[in-house]
Amino acid sequence: MSPRRCLFAFAVVVLSAMKAVSAHAETIQIVMDKLVYSPVDVKATVGDTIEWVNSDILAHTATARNGDWDVTIAAKKTVSLVLKKAGAIDYYCRYHPNMKGRITIAPK
């Protein structure tokens, strides 16, 4: 195989692999409404995207207790995060510490 053909074959493999990943990865929505995460308990897999939709008139955060991530979502905005590590993550809102949620992330 010439170097050029080899590169092409490699690119095809990489692209198909990427396609396979994106086909399997899911987007999971968690709505923040009246200071509650809904659903409050979510099951996901590494590679999935969590989409926090803030329906409130207040800013919120989704802050992992173990420090893995800290996402700020302004009022009436949506912010996404791709899950990169497996584990059971408890998270909360730094601005409203009574808001609590959990995402259980299975390895791929």
Partner 1 sequence: MLVRLSAAIAAVCLLGSGALAQGAAKPTDPQIAHIAYTAGVIDVTAAKQALAKSKNKTVRSFAADMVRDHEAVNKQALALVKKLHVTPEDNDTSRALTKQAADKRTELAKLSGKAFDRAYVASEVAYHKTVNGALETVLIPSANNGELKSLLETGLKVFQGHQEHAEHVAAGLK
Q: What is the DSSP string of 19-76?
A: HHHHHH--EEEEEEETTEEESSEEEEETT-EEEEEE-SSS-EEEEETTSS-EEEE-TT
Stretch that binds partner 1, among 3-11, 22-30, 52-60, 64-72 (CB under 8 A): 52-60
Stretch that binds partner 1, among 7-15, 38-46, 55-63, 80-88 (CB under 8 A): 55-63
Out of 99, 101, 103, 105, the only residue in the binding site for partner 1 (CB under 8 A) is: 99
Asked if residue 2 binds partner 1 (CB under 8 A), the reply is no
* Contact call for residues 53 and 29 (beta carbons, < 8 A): yes
How many other C-beta atoms can be found within 10 angstroms of the C-beta atom of residue 73? 22
Asked if residue 58 binds partner 1 (CB under 8 A), the reply is yes
* Residue ranges that bind partner 1, judged by CB under 8 A: 34-35, 56-59, 75, 94-99
